[in-house]
A = this chain, B = another copy of it.
Amino acid sequence: MTGTKQAGIDRTSGVALWRQIADDIRVAIGAGEFREAGKLPGEMALAERFGVNRHTVRAAISALQNEGIVKAKAGRGTEILSDLRLKMPISRRTRFSTGLGGQARRPETAYIAAGEAAASDEVAAALAIAPGSLCVTLESLGLADGIPVSLAFHYFPAARFAGIAEHFRRERSVTRSFAAMGLADYVRVSTDISARHADEYERDWLRLTPGGIVLEALAVNADLEGVPVQYSRTRFSAGRVSLHVGTDGEL
């Protein structure tokens, strides 16, 4: 099926050639295709490979430079800067800071906003409360070494966690905020994972370029009696994070 035509380039798909080629090169870098050389093949070689003009390849490389993935130097070639991904564990004891702790990086959580909202059907079902019940909302940004990796929107039942936003503002941690309100422990009940293109708001906070991808995780946490205490929608920068599900044991 892949056959004769030059490596998968479609000219009437609504996606500019330079963007298709940039995406292809990004995937190839992630797959480790150029890891040995540490740099991309020359512009002429790439133009040949994709069956396009050298100018088009230059536009693609320029886009990858803006993303901070490669760095082109006259006479030297195009160096590959980073193809690393953080591994975020998903288990019964999923927590942001400890999840990234083992990877020799400085994890950090930033406060974005807090508020109140009536529970939509979706939120109400997840938290096992009546639709329309009041929820405390909290928005936060997760960073590793100063680079944003996740953007989270949390819902807590207001009846039980009325003042949690103030705690979070000081503590910068959901776990410690729960603890300050008398909830010593909690577990992850379920996680729903999907992927899509980032919208403008997500691109802004996660510093993604147009066409960037987010992994969206819808998660429910519950106390040890199984009563839901938190519903959150976390969007991970797909280029910087993978999710690791260990189905055999705890973290």
Which residues of chain A have a CB within 8 Å of any CB of chain B? 1-2, 7-8, 10, 12-16, 18-20, 22-24, 26-28, 30, 59, 63, 85, 87, 90-92, 94, 187-201, 203-205, 209-211, 213-215, 238-239, 241-248
Contact = CB atoms under 8 A, between A and B. Distances in A.
A7 B244 CA distance: 31
A199 B7 contact: yes
Contact of A211 (B14, B198, B199, B243): B14
A247 B23 contact: no
Specify the main secondary structure of chain A where it touches its partner: mixed
Given A20-B211, A24-B199, 9 more contacts: A10-B200, A10-B210, A23-B197, A27-B199, A28-B199, A90-B245, A189-B246, A189-B247, A196-B239
B188 A247 contact: yes
A242 B15 contact: no
19 contacts: A7-B200, A8-B199, A14-B16, A14-B19, A14-B59, A14-B211, A15-B209, A15-B211, A19-B211, A20-B197, A20-B211, A92-B248, A189-B247, A190-B244, A191-B245, A193-B245, A194-B238, A195-B195, A196-B213
A76 to B, nearest CB: 26
A247 to B, nearest CB: 5
Contact of A192 (B22, B27, B87, B91): B87
Nearest to A24: B199
A135 B91 CA distance: 30
Contact of A14 (B10, B210, B242): B210
Contacts of A248: 92, 187, 189-190
